[in-house]
Structure 1
């Protein structure tokens, strides 16, 4: 019976899947472990030791030869780079910048100035309750400017 060994460990599940697919396309049987756990919660990467690529011990040299091919390594690096670029672009398509300082360190939060409207103040005083409605605005955390 053939022994299954851990061939390599990856901290990026995308890179691990690319290598796995390359090996499977070349006829080397392999599988990944801890991939789902790390994909769901990336903070477990260090605790689990990354995504592990397993294959048969007899295929270790074949797998090294396949992955040492420079064209494959360049294609792998480009694929991982394109994937990380597309993820970075998808995060903030509508970045809001402060009109005063130009910073993008802006949040949509409860206003610190003029946060209660006149109607809210009157109703709150009549009912003797804390104001129930507050205004929200964009707030720059660098220059403290508030804007709509």
Structure 2
């Protein structure tokens, strides 16, 4: 039966997850311990000793060679230039047109002018709370007109 050992300890759970996935993609079976605890409460990081990466003892040499391989790095500049047209977000045009300036750069958002009705103001003053209801309106982001 193979022995499971702690290969490495990480104090950053994200880095530990990246290393784990790189090893799994290379065919080495491994798992992390204390990852969820440290992610939820980072103050436990020192108390628990960090996130530990476990693997079979027979795979340690292969894991070291995989993690030291620098040829695996991806040049993001080359990928970004080739796929720029495919990844570019498509701007959604609003169906509303601003009556003031004719712009289509309009959104349905919380009002900036006359946000609260009189009933909302009275109830919030009576209970000493921040107003609980704000009007929504169409807002032109070019001329700041609300309609």
Q: Which has the higher helix share?
A: 1
TM-score of the pair, normalised by structure 2: 0.49
TM-score of the pair, normalised by structure 1: 0.49
